[in-house]
């Protein structure tokens, strides 16, 4: 029987919800490319409930305990005194989320000789040291596509929010003002602007499709080129390099995984190549951007706005400069964990666990590492390496 340790974000400050704003969430059976949504043998939750916080337990307790497994759920994940640090030593499986990432570093793997499976309840397994997972024979799996559309919707919202200057305008209202000139002094239309995505995977392509009706010019860069029919349908301009693309774009949206090729891709040098006054929306991973270079580019006006929901580390220290830099529209890491998305990734984790315990193959599209190498979607979209360096700084948040 297995010991499963699951790290989830904290419950709401005013308690775990007893009722919800809506009575249901739409049922989605298939993603846009035809992949089916998760297919566990059953679920023990009602879609639309909070599943991603500690008391929600991803709806897994009944399933795991009735099959004789032990299940520890905690939000305490950083530092030597954390619950995770203590519980991982005899864990067989760790489940963690990108939103409140349990950094599974090489040191932690070394303390956990039984650890065989790391499941990401979401998409993006950069919080696991993939090199160490490869060397230690771990399987790493994530719930591919579960929240890609959730993020794409968020990206569109943030692009419009930045370009139209929504947040400061909203703040004038709550302050009791009617300061139209203050609001519009930084407000533009996206129509006719050039927008480019770094990566045209599930999120990047969905963003392009959603922006097409705004009559924007669409650009992309990716390791693999999209099919010609898609390029024609969306009238896409493909660029060989990120540098080539950012030079001509008014808005850049970052939608690639964090791995050794993309860490700090947007540094001072890349930012200096962008058009003055461009906007960046990064819902991929905070570490793809250089923290201080972004803040400096906003201060100088080289970029006009920056928004996203991803930081490094997470939770972001209370003095993280992205909390206070000008013209930003940052939120905590929320875009992929709407109540709608939670239902899909909770079901996806259950599907992966059922496969694991029943000795059935995990879907190829969920695999990142298996058998000592990158596998499945991981072999296509990631490169070997470790992006967890510096994650110990996350302990500063709860210490503050
Ligand atoms: P996909 O795997 O569908 O897409 C990733 C794309 O990135 C692939 O097309 C891949 O290329 C491309 N890519 C990888 N490396 C590079 C590179 N060096 N340069 C250009 N393109 C590259 O994943 P999703 O679109 O679903 O998600 C993307 C990322 O978004 C996740 O890895 C995660 O980090 C983040 N995310 C954030 C969420 C949030 O809540 N904020 C939620 C979900 C995801 P190819 O496959 O052609 O090699």
194 is catalytic: no
pLDDT at 307: 98
Two structure tokens written together for 120: 């990401």
pLDDT digits (tens, 9 = 90+) for 336-381: 999 999 999 999 999 999 999 999 999 999 999 999 999 999 999 8
Catalytic residue among 127, 219, 259, 285: 285
pLDDT at 227: 98
- Outline where DSSP puts E strands in the chain: 3-7, 70-74, 93-96, 117-120, 139-142, 194-198, 217-221, 236-238, 251-254, 278-282, 303-308, 328-330, 367-370, 373-374
Atom of ligand 1 nearest to the CA of 144: 26
DSSP letters, 285-353, are -GGGB-HHHHHHHHHHTSEEEEEES--SSSSPPTT-GGGTSTTEEE-SS-TT-SHHHHHHHHHHHHHHH
What separation in Å is there between the alpha carbon of 203 and the centre of ligand 1?
7
At residue 90, does pLDDT exceed 90? yes
Least confident span in 130-139, 148-157, 252-261, 384-393: 384-393
Find the angle CA(167)-CA(168)-CA(170) to the nearest 5 degrees: 65
* Ligand 1 contacts CB of residue 198 (under 6 A): yes
What separation in Å is there between the alpha carbon of 201 and the centre of ligand 1?
6
Domains annotated for the chain, with CATH where assigned, are 3-146+337-390 (3.40.50.720), 148-323 (3.40.50.720)
The residue among 73, 81, 61 whose CA lies nearest residue 8 is 73
Question: Model pTM?
Answer: 0.97
Q: Tell me the C-alpha distance between 99 and 96, whole Å.
A: 9
């Amino acid at each position: 029987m297995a010991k499963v340790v699951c790290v989830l974000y904290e419950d709401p400050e005013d308690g775990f919800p007893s009722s919800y704003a809506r009575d249901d969430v739409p049922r989605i059976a298939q993603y846009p490319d035809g992949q089916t949504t998760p297919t566990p043998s059953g679920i023990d939750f009602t879609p639309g409930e909070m599943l991603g916080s500690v008391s929600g337990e991803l709806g897994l307790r009944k399933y795991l305990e009735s099959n004789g497994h032990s299940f520890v759920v905690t939000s305490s994940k950083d530092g030597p005194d954390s619950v995770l640090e203590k519980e991982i030593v005899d864990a067989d499986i760790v489940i963690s989320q990108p939103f409140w990432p349990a950094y599974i570093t090489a040191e932690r793997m070394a303390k956990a000789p039984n650890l065989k499976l790391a499941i990401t309840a979401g998409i993006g397994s950069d919080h696991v040291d993939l090199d160490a997972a490869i060397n230690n024979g771990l399987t790493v799996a994530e719930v591919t596509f579960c929240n890609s559309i959730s993020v794409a919707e968020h990206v569109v919202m943030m692009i419009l929010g930045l370009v139209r200057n929504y947040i400061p305008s909203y703040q004038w209202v709550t302050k009791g003002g009617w300061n139209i000139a203050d609001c519009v002094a930084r407000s533009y239309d996206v129509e006719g602007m050039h927008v480019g995505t770094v990566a045209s995977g599930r999120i990047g392509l969905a963003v392009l499709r959603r922006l097409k009706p705004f009559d924007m010019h669409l650009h992309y860069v990716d390791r693999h080129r999209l099919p010609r029919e898609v390029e024609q349908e969306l009238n896409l301009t493909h660029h060989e390099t990120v540098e080539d693309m950012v030079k001509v774009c008014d808005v850049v949206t970052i939608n690639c995984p964090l791995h050794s090729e993309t860490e700090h891709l947007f540094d001072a040098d890349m930012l200096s190549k962008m058009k003055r006054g461009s906007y960046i929306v990064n819902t991929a991973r905070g570490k793809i951007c250089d923290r201080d270079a972004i803040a400096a580019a906003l201060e100088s006006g080289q970029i006009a706005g920056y928004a996203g929901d991803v930081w490094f580390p997470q939770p972001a220290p209370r003095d993280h400069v992205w909390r206070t830099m000008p013209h930003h529209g940052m939120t905590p890491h929320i875009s992929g964990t709407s109540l709608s998305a939670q239902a899909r990734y909770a079901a996806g984790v259950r599907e992966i666990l059922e496969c694991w315990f029943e000795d059935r193959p995990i879907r190829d599209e969920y695999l990142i590492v298996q058998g000592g190498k990158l596998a499945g979607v991981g072999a296509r979209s990631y490169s070997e390496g470790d992006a967890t360096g510096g994650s110990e700084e996350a302990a500063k948040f709860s210490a503050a």
